[in-house]
Structure 1
Amino acid sequence: MPRKAVEKPGEVKYLILKPLGYPLKASYHEYPVVDNPKVFDRYAKDQWKGEFVSKGKLLFDIRMFPDFAFEVISAEPDYGIITDSTIILVETPSRTIETEIVKDVSLSDVVGQEEAKRKVKVILEFLKNPEKFGKWAPRNVLFYGPPGTGKTMTAKALANEAKVPFLSVKSTKLIGEHVGDGARRIHELYERARQVAPCIVFLDEFDSIALDRSYQELRGDVSEVVNALLTELDGIQRNDGICTIAATNRAEMLDASIRSRFEEEIEFSLPSYEERLEILRKNLQEFPLEVKAKLDEVARQTEGFSGRDLVEKVIKSALHRAIAEGRDRIETEDFMKAAVKTMPVKNPPKHMFA
C-alpha cells in the first residue's frame, strides 16, 4: 500500500507568548519589559524563524533577553511554522490588556439576540476584508443591555469567525494610580491593536470611564483616560482594520460626547420564554447528572433572568446542591429552588415548590 502523505504544517499567523522566567536563575524574578513590540517582533522572528510551534511549546530567547523562557499560550492556527509574516505578541505580567486568539465560540452559540446578530455581520465582513469598506468601516460600535445577555460572547464570536485577535480590557484597569498611567495604557492598547490589525478592541464595563459628567462622584477623575480614548476613537492615528467594541449595562448614563463617537449602537435584551428554554436545553446537553425536569416550567418561571443567570445561578447552583447531597439526578424542584434565590420578587409563587 502506498504510504499516506504527511501534511506539512503551515504558517502561524499570530503567536502569543507568556513570559516564564530564567530557568537557570531561580532567584531572578524580573520580567523583560518589551517597550517596543515591533522591535521584539522583529528580533523574535529573526531567531525563531522556521521553528515549529504549538500551544505549550517553550521558546528560549538568545538575543534580547538571553536564556529567558517564553511559553506559547495561543496560536492561529493551533500549530505551524514561524515565518517572516508571523506576528509575535508577548503578554505583560500586569495583564491589563488581554490578547486572545478566540476558539470554539460562534454567533450560532449566542441564543436569541437575532437583531444584534444581524447587525454585527457588518463587523464580521469588515474584519474579513477591511480594504473593502474604506472610510465607511464600522470602527466604533457600542453594545448595550442588561448584564449576562451575550455582549462579550458575541464580540468573541466575531473574532473567532473572522480569525482575528481579540484584545480586551476592563475599563476599570485603564484608570492608573499615577498621572499619565491611564493615557499610557490606552495608547499601549491601540499600539498593539495596530500591530495585529485587523482585530477587535473590546472595552468591557465601559461606563466606569465614560459616565456623564453629572455623575462625577461615581466616575472620579478619569479625564486623562477619556481624552486619550477620544483621540484613538477619532482616528488621529490611522486605525485601519481595528473595530472598537465597547460594552455597557448603562448606556443612558454615558457621556454624550463619548457616546457620539460610536457610529452604531446595538442592543442586547433579556431572553424570551422560548430563548430561556433553548438556553436550558443547550446547557444540559452534556451534563454530569441525569436530568428529570420540566424545562418548559423552569423557563416559564424565570422571566427576567439573563442567559448568565440561568447558567450560573440556576443550572450550576442546582448541580452543586445535588452533588453535595449525594444525588445522581436533578429534578424540576432543584432548578426552581435555585431560581428563587435569584428571583427579584419577595413572595415567589407557592406552586414553584410543588
Structure 2
Amino acid sequence: MTGGEIAVRLTGRLGPRFVLDVDFRAPMRGITALFGPSGCGKTSILRAVAGLHVFSGSVRVGEDVWQDGRTFRPVHRRPIGYVFQEASLFAHLNVFRNLTYGLRRAPKDRSVIGLGEVVDLLRLGPLIERMPTHLSGGERQRVAIGRALLAQPRLLLMDEPLAALDRMARDEILPYLEALHAGLKIPILLVTHDMAEVERLADHIVLLHEGRVVTAGPLDTVLSEPGSVLAVRRDFAAILSGRVRMVEGDGIATIDIDGAALLTLGQGLAAGSAVRVRIAAGDVSLSRSPSTQSSILNALPVEILAVDESGPHERSILLRTHGGAAGFRARISARSADALGLAVGDRVHAQIKSVSIVANR
C-alpha cells in the first residue's frame, strides 16, 4: 500500500447471522461512497474505521496504522471527524460554541481548516448566535459538519448525513457538500443508499452487498464496466467528467467529454469550467443511421461494448464514443435490440434526449 491510500480489511460477526468480510482501498482525496442497500454493513464499516466497533483486521490511513493484529488505536486517538444522520448538536450551546467545541478537541500540532474558513464555506455567519432549537434541519447538519471539520481530521466520516432531511433540506445542503469536495483536501468516506447522492458527490465507490464488497473503484469506471451490477437498475445513469467548450447565445452549452461534444442547457456555466455530466440510460435511444429531423440535440456515433440483460424484456447496452474511453449505457426493450440486431462491436448512433449537469467541478 502506498501513502496515498486508505486501506480497510475487516472481518467479524454482527448478531447470529450477519458476517462482515470486506477488503477495499480508497484514495486519500475526494469522496468515497460506501453504497448498498440497508443492512449491507455500510455503517458498521464506518464505525470500525472510527474505532467505535471492533472487528478483526486492519485499518490504515496513509502511512498511519490505526488497527492491525498488534495495534488498536482508540477512537480518541484517531484524527477523524464524524457526521451522523442526526446533527446531535449540544442543545445548551449556540452555533459559535458548538463550532469551537470541535476546535478544543483538535490536536495542537494539526491545522487543516480555521474557524473563519468553516463559517465561510458552510455560510454559517448569519447563524452564529442562534441556538440549535432555532435552526432548520439543513442548518443543524451544516453546523455539525463544521464542528467535525474544526476537529482538524485527517479523515471525515459521514453516515447518511442527508437521510434525516426532507427533499427541500437535502437540496439545500447538497451544494455545501459539493463545496467541501471542491475546497478541501480531507478525504471523505460517505455512507449512503441513495444513488443520486453517489452520482452528485462521489469520486470513488465501494459497492456492498450482505457484508461483502461487490466491486470498488473510481465511480466512472465502476458504472461503465461490462457486466456492472448497477447497470440493471432502472435508475442507472453514467457520470462523465467534461469541460465546457462554449455557451451559445441561445443558452446551449457544448461540453467536451473525451473528445465527444455533448449539448445541454448551459445556465450558470462558463466556458472552460469543469463539470460532471449525468446521462440516464433511459434517455438514450439507438439508431443504425443518424436522424436528420429530430428535436433531440445529441446524436453521437458510438460502438457497442456489451449487451446485458436488464430483466426479461429489456437490455442494457454499454456504449463508447468513437476513439474515446468514456462509457455510458442505453436501456431499450429486448424487442428493439432484436429488431436492430444489436451485437458487441456494432457501430450505431446514440440519441441522447437529456444531458444533466450534475455538478460544477
Q: What TM-score do the two structures reach when normalised by structure 2?
A: 0.25
Q: Where is the strand percentage greater, Structure 1 or Structure 2?
A: 2
Structure showing greater Rg: 1
TM-score relative to the length of structure 1: 0.25
